[in-house]
Chain A
Amino acid sequence: MAEASGMPLGGVIFLTVFLAIFGTFLIFLARAIGGRRTNNSAAKRDIYECGIPGQDKRETKVSVKFYLTAILFILFDIEIIFMYPWAITFRDFISSGQGTFVFASMMIFLAIFIFGLFWEIKSKALEWD
């Protein structure tokens, strides 16, 4: 394995581990310093609500839109990711004379992308109310 590969990755892992330990340490520190108060009533330990008994999340109805948005996000995100290698090589392709072909193929891809996007907009999949 090459040195070059280890170096940034090692840094990332070091930083991650450091942050995890540091964060945990902070949590424990705050616990130790903050301590516990004597008032330990059930009302205090309940989840937040404005005066009435706290409602658990289980009774909450959530719009299905959130999950639909997530699905659409995945699909469009991948299409965008596909543009990255294209964007980085586009100039190389132009200088090697294949610019027209690569440009055209990406435009076809984008046309499909735009079609999908406008279909979603038209079908009101992205309407929030």
Chain B
Amino acid sequence: MTPDVFLFWFLALLIVGSGLAVLLFTNPVYSALSLAMTMVGVAAIFITLNAYFIAGVQLIVYAGAVMVLFVMVIMLFDIKSEVQAFTSGKISGAMKLIAVGLLSGLIVGGIIMGQKSFVGELSKDAAAQVAEANSAKMKRAAGADAATKELGVALFTKHIFGFEALGVLLTAIAVGTVALARSRGGTHAK
């Protein structure tokens, strides 16, 4: 077992475990902290996939900002652990569980058995791909952040429109949330 394989399984267990914890904790504070842990695990998974910059962004944005906001809101408004954390309807609950179970089975089954699909094609010669990837990496090993630069170049040429649009979106949301947070309830006072 090479260190990389060990890392993958370790992180996979961590992610799935803390993901389940999000689902199962009845106290929202613990849910949020588990989610933060999942985010950190996902960031680590990104590093094993050589997406260093994205891993850093995952840490800064998700773990460092979004989840802090969640935790802060839960603490600020003192949202307690619930007596009844899960939906109660027996039939709808059962249907939901069945849907979830079926979906998970289908996706996993589809991935494993999908020989004809794109995924199957891709995973069949995954070894060759990895070899190629490694050789490609050797080539650009010259600069430490060549991969990040590649990302930057693609972002500012091919995806420039999305980039600008997101800028507008973020500003719009900054304005909108302030308005929302300020509102003292709706016009239909009860």
Contacts and interface: CB of A to CB of B under 8 A. Distances in A.
Contacts of B155: 85-86
Nearest to B3: A6
For the side of the interface on B, what is the size category? 35 or more
Given A66-B76, A71-B177, A76-B174, A9 B156 contact: no
B69 A119 contact: no
Interface stretch (A26-34, A37-45, A47-55, A57-65): A57-65
Given A74-B61, A74-B69, A105-B160, A68 B167 contact: no
Interface residues of A, number: 51
B148 A62 contact: no
Contacts of A112: 164, 167-168, 171
Contacts of A13: 7, 10, 44
Determine chain A's interface SS by DSSP, over half rule.
Answer: helix
A71 B179 CA distance: 12
Interface of A: 1-6, 8-10, 12-13, 57-58, 62, 64, 66-68, 70-79, 81-82, 84-86, 88-89, 92-93, 98, 102, 105-106, 108-109, 112-113, 115-116, 119-120, 123, 125
Given A70-B73, A78-B61, A81-B61, 17 more contacts: A2-B133, A62-B76, A66-B72, A67-B76, A75-B171, A75-B173, A75-B177, A77-B61, A85-B53, A85-B151, A85-B155, A85-B156, A86-B155, A88-B149, A106-B156, A116-B174, A123-B175
